[in-house]
């Protein structure tokens, strides 16, 4: 099916969502802004949207191949893709396999420590409040999702972690942590938004460091991850 990009639906930190002539589909367009360290640092480099689009498409196709439903339909252009329109659940599911970021500050853990079991954390998606950490009971009380939906999100988050960890291991990359968002498409929950370095910590297995040279060269990180992925798929 041919899709035509129409009016702007919404604009976030790293993407724009455009309406199409299909009421069930939209076009997600990645920008060239690189949001780093949970949006506390913003850098621009030409072609970043293209890198994100390619990386995200690879991961979404990989999840679909493993029977994990996503909103992905097909690539549309170098920096955009066609997605199913979803009613987004305002809960971010963070999957952590290594200690890093805010988890260290909150729990006093050693940096770069491999966790004995993957940890799931939940954040209320609200920019004004700074996306605060919540638990499942907050989600139920605030009517953000149902208990059944939370169960599905947790189950699929762990499945996504296994798929990503397995493929990235072949590429010499550690999946330290990543964020997932889910949306409702009809009566089904799907992985929505994106899985890219925008929302994940991918480390070199030998150095346990990101590929961006401590934030100095984010372009190298995106390029290196995409290159390595293409060599193992």
What confidence score (pLDDT) does residue 70 get? 98
Rounded Cα gap, residues 71 and 52, in angstroms: 16
In this structure, the answer to whether residues 43 and 96 fall within a common structural domain is no
- Continuous segment of H or E residues that includes residue 157: helix 147-170
Where among 84, 105, 121 does a domain terminate?
Answer: 84
Q: Tell me: pLDDT of 221 over 90.
A: yes
Q: Which domain holds residue 149?
A: 87-218+226-232
CA 202 to each of CA 96, 183, 199, 225: distance values in angstroms, whole numbers, following the listed order: 11, 24, 10, 8
In this structure, the answer to whether residues 75 and 127 fall within a common structural domain is no
CB 108 within 8 A of CB 99: no
CB 219 within 8 A of CB 45: yes
What confidence score (pLDDT) does residue 37 get? 45
Q: Tell me: pLDDT of 36 over 60.
A: no
Read off the pLDDT band of 15 (50, 70, 90). Answer: very high
What confidence score (pLDDT) does residue 7 get? 97
How crowded is the C-beta side of 89, counted as CA atoms within 13 Å? 29
State whether residue 68 is helix, strand or coil.
Answer: coil
Q: What is the CATH number of the domain that holds 213?
A: 3.30.470.20
In this structure, the answer to whether residues 27 and 46 fall within a common structural domain is yes
Read off the pLDDT band of 177 (50, 70, 90). Answer: very high
Looking at residues 158-163, what average pLDDT do you find?
A: 98
What confidence score (pLDDT) does residue 79 get? 97
pTM for this structure?
Answer: 0.94
Q: List, edge to edge, every strand of the sheet that includes 80-84.
A: 5-11, 15-20, 25-30, 80-84, 72-77
Read off the pLDDT band of 33 (50, 70, 90). Answer: confident
Q: What is the CATH number of the domain that holds 46?
A: 3.30.200.20
In this structure, the answer to whether residues 157 and 44 fall within a common structural domain is no
In this structure, the answer to whether residues 203 and 91 fall within a common structural domain is yes
In this structure, the answer to whether residues 105 and 209 fall within a common structural domain is yes
pLDDT in tens, 128-151: 999 999 999 999 999 999 999 999
What confidence score (pLDDT) does residue 121 get? 98
Rounded Cα gap, residues 89 and 130, in angstroms: 17
Looking at residues 91-95, what average pLDDT do you find?
A: 98
Rounded Cα gap, residues 190 and 230, in angstroms: 25
How crowded is the C-beta side of 176, counted as CA atoms within 13 Å? 23
In this structure, the answer to whether residues 12 and 97 fall within a common structural domain is no
What confidence score (pLDDT) does residue 214 get? 84
Q: Tell me: pLDDT of 162 over 80.
A: yes
CB 170 within 8 A of CB 190: no
Looking at residues 85-89, what average pLDDT do you find?
A: 98
Read off the pLDDT band of 34 (50, 70, 90). Answer: low
pLDDT higher at 214 or 55: 55
Where among 25, 56, 84 does a domain terminate?
Answer: 84
Rounded Cα gap, residues 73 and 203, in angstroms: 29
Question: How many residues in the chain?
Answer: 233
Rounded Cα gap, residues 166 and 170, in angstroms: 7
Residue that has been written with the tokens 């009380």 in this structure: 141
Looking at residues 12-20, what average pLDDT do you find?
A: 92
Where among 26, 56, 84 does a domain terminate?
Answer: 84
In this structure, the answer to whether residues 69 and 136 fall within a common structural domain is no
In this structure, the answer to whether residues 108 and 59 fall within a common structural domain is no
In this structure, the answer to whether residues 13 and 95 fall within a common structural domain is no
In this structure, the answer to whether residues 17 and 49 fall within a common structural domain is yes
Portion of the chain with pLDDT greater than 90, in percent = 88
In this structure, the answer to whether residues 140 and 198 fall within a common structural domain is yes
Q: In the predicted model, what is the mean pLDDT of the chain? A: 94
What confidence score (pLDDT) does residue 102 get? 92
How many structural domains does the chain have?
A: 2
């Amino acid at each position: 099916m041919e899709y035509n990009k129409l009016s702007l639906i919404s604009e976030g930190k790293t993407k724009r969502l455009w309406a199409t002539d299909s009421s069930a589909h939209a076009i997600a367009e990645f920008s060239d802004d690189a949001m780093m360290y949970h949006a506390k640092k913003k850098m621009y480099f030409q072609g970043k949207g293209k890198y994100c689009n390619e990386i995200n498409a690879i991961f979404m196709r990989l999840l679909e191949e493993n029977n994990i439903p996503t909103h992905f339909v097909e690539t549309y252009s170098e920096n955009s893709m066609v997605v199913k329109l979803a009613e987004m659940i305002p809960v971010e599911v963070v999957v952590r396999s290594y200690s890093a970021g805010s988890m260290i500050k909150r729990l006093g853990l050693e940096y770069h420590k491999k966790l004995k079991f993957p940890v799931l954390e939940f954040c209320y998606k609200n920019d004004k409040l700074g996306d605060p950490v919540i638990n499942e009971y907050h989600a139920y009380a605030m009517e953000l999702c149902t208990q059944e939906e939370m169960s599905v999100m947790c189950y699929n988050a762990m499945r996504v972690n296994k798929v990503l960890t397995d493929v990235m291991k072949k590429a010499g990359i550690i999946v330290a942590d990543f964020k997932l968002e889910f949306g409702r498409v009809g009566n089904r929950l799907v992985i929505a938004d994106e899985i890219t370095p925008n929302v994940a910590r991918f480390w070199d297995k030998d150095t346990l460091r990101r590929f961006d040279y401590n934030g100095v060269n984010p372009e190298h990180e995106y390029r290196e991850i995409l290159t390595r992925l293409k060599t193992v798929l």
